[in-house]
Amino acid sequence: MTIKIGNRTIGGSNKIFIIAEISANHNQKYDVAVESIKAIKDCGADAVKLQTYTADTLTINSNKDNFKIQQGTIWDGKTLYELYQEAFTPWEWQPKLKQYAEELGLICFSSPFDRSAVDFLETMNVPAYKIASFEIVDIPLIEYTASKGKPIIISTGIATEEEIKDAVEACRRMGNNQIALLKCTSEYPASIEDANLKMIPALAEKYNTVAGLSDHTLGTIVPVTAAALGAAIIEKHFILDKKLGGPDSSFSLEPSEFKRMIDEIRQVEKILGEVKFELSDKTKRSRVFARSLFVVKDIRAGEKFSEENVCSIRPSHGLPPKFLKEILGKKASKNIERGTPLDWNLIEK
């Protein structure tokens, strides 16, 4: 299964698609968002992702208990409205940020959080959409987004098995089979004990989609391990400097960390290689040190080969050892000196 975003084919034997999520890490400063995109390019990422919402498109401004965050998160004490008012990316920035990213050679797309965001992003001609983990239960939103015919990447963080199935079926009902599912742990930050990366190949197999990881853990070990387990997409939050603060800063990677993650993922890709039985040129050269059949004691013409005068030793210039039983008891066709690699023309027919 593969999908195509811009000029990139994702899945199968293709390179892992690495997304840098800016989220709220611009601190409401346009110049910081621009600098972040430039740094993301320098790190070697493939794409930059934005989020398209306002506080009013996500919730209502209310101080009632239902709207207060008190789940043991880094945002406890705020209302939902206060958090989203602090974290949103101004919509007027987004066409300019996309243009800048594309000028640098990055793919740029976004997560819409309601129909108005989808409509806005359509005017920007984004090449793909991302459904955030908490929106996976919003089937009308997924149907509307999928109806645009663009690849759709869905984080599964808070979803039950049935809800993942519902989301995938919603896309397919709209005639859209360009689906990627991302294993996601919706904790901020997430613990490595909850990563459950074995879900990545399981998602791909169960739902016949591209699969990958949206990661909120600290450090890089989880995304690098995901690469080894077959993730086709890896998404990680990016920040220029954690000293900037902000709601997502604690589980975001600074440029040096992000670059190290990408470098390690690319090394994993080389390590994994491909399924093939042909030997590389280097391995072929090393075969000289394999075992083969040699005469290890002088043999006269007509003398029988035995386990005393023929042995399997290094190097590989003689007959393969698998022929030893066939040769034992046969006669030498000529005198053979010790140290001679055994060959068929040295054996009487």
CATH code of the domain in which 169 resides? 3.20.20.70
Residue 80 lies in a domain: no
Tokens 């793909």, located at residue: 128
On whether both 198 and 289 belong to a single domain, the answer is no
The answer to whether residues 210 and 181 touch, using CB atoms and an 8 Å cutoff, is yes
Residue 128 lies in a domain: yes
Please list the pLDDT of the chain residue by residue as tens digits (349 residues): 999 999 999 999 999 999 999 998 999 999 999 999 999 999 999 999 999 999 899 899 888 887 887 766 666 778 888 888 888 999 999 999 999 999 999 999 999 999 999 999 999 999 999 999 999 999 999 999 999 999 999 999 999 999 999 999 999 999 999 999 999 998 888 999 999 999 999 999 999 999 999 999 999 999 999 999 999 999 999 999 998 888 788 889 999 999 999 999 999 999 999 888 999 899 999 999 999 999 999 999 999 999 999 999 999 999 999 999 999 999 999 999 999 999 999 999 8
Residue 82 lies in a domain: no
- In degrees, to the nearest 5, what angle opens at C-alpha 253 toward C-alphas 85 and 217? 85
On whether both 111 and 182 belong to a single domain, the answer is yes
Where do the H-state alpha helices sit in the chain? Answer: 30-43, 55-58, 80-87, 94-103, 115-124, 139-146, 161-173, 199-207, 221-228, 255-272, 281-286, 324-327
On whether both 260 and 297 belong to a single domain, the answer is no
Name beta bridge partners: 111: 51
On whether both 193 and 264 belong to a single domain, the answer is yes
Task: Provide the token pair at 214.
Answer: 């949206």
The number of distinct structural domains making up the chain is: 2
The answer to whether residues 234 and 47 touch, using CB atoms and an 8 Å cutoff, is no
Task: Identify which of 56, 46, 81 has the alpha carbon closest to the alpha carbon of residue 67.
Answer: 81
On whether both 150 and 289 belong to a single domain, the answer is no
298 lies in which domain range?
281-346
Among the three residues 223, 248, 272, which one is the final residue of a domain in this structure?
A: 272
Q: Is 24 left (phi over 0), alpha (psi -120 to 50) or beta?
A: alpha
On whether both 121 and 255 belong to a single domain, the answer is yes
Among the three residues 272, 294, 317, which one is the final residue of a domain in this structure?
A: 272
